[in-house]
Amino acid sequence: MDTDLGEAFWNDRYRSMDRVWSGRPNPQLVAVASGLPAGRALDAGCGEGADAIWLAECGWRVTAVELSSVALERGAAAAAAHGYGEGDDRPGGVDWVHADLTAWSPPESAYDLVSAQYLQLPPDPRKAVFPRLAAAVAPGGLLLVVGHHPSDLHTTVRRPPLPELFFTAEDVAALLEPSSFDVLASEARPRPATDSEGRTVTVRDAVLVARRTA
């Protein structure tokens, strides 16, 4: 199988259908961020922008970073349809950034929330990217990383047959500086999903929530 998951791959995937994702914010983000005071957020790998738009609607100023230019254009169009276009003076908003997270570095200590939802990277890029995302969290802020748990490979739900892209919350926690973060959650959270045959199955999200202390 071709394992080149660069921009060309993702642009082709997004062009293959009118919408790849549901248009709803990811449930783990909603569960974590709903009770937080709005501030500055980084949405790392924002896809078509549902998470970024939801955060903006909650009053956050969001930097949404995405490799696929096709997905980024869709996100910006959806945000504009929700009233979050360029020059809008509403409290929340989204700044769209076209960048490869394996090469792009966010500003350090700049965000009250850094969210990476299903950013499925091979081990070496993952070991570089997640510490940079952690460094972007301001003291007192939260890092939220959600990914497909390796146990999903043993279910009937559709997943790429690339086990190196899957990780546990403990894998991510091991990349954090222990003196700088308190790990609030590190677990495999079950949720229902539907496989290609229409059957309801249980999948698990690797969920790490960590607060920066210094």
Q: What is the pLDDT of residue 82?
A: 87
Q: How many whole angstroms separate alpha carbon 180 and alpha carbon 107?
A: 17
pLDDT at 21: 67
Domains, the chain, with CATH or none = 40-212 (3.40.50.150)
d(CA 179, CA 5): 34
The Cα–Cα gap between 60 and 37 comes to 9
In the chain, DSSP finds a helix count (H) and a strand count (E) of 6, 7
Place of tokens 């229902």: 192
Length of the chain: 214
Report angle CA 48, 51, 54 to the nearest 5 degrees.
Answer: 120
pLDDT of residue 1: 35
Q: What is the pLDDT of residue 7?
A: 78
28 SS3 class: helix
pLDDT in tens, the chain (214 residues): 345 678 787 777 778 777 766 669 999 999 999 989 999 999 999 999 999 999 999 999 999 999 999 999 999 999 999 888 765 667 789 999 999 999 999 999 999 999 999 999 999 999 999 999 999 999 999 999 999 999 999 999 988 889 999 999 999 999 999 999 999 999 999 999 999 899 999 999 999 999 999 8
Residue 83 phi/psi, 5-degree rounding, is 90, 15
Task: Say if residues 30 and 54 touch (Cβ distance below 8 Å).
Answer: yes
SS3 for 84? coil
d(CA 185, CA 198): 31
Contacts of 126 (CB under 8 A, 6+ apart): 167, 171, 175
Rounded Cα distance between 55 and 53, Å, is 5
| Nearest in space to 25 (alpha carbons), one of 2, 53, 6, 44 | 53
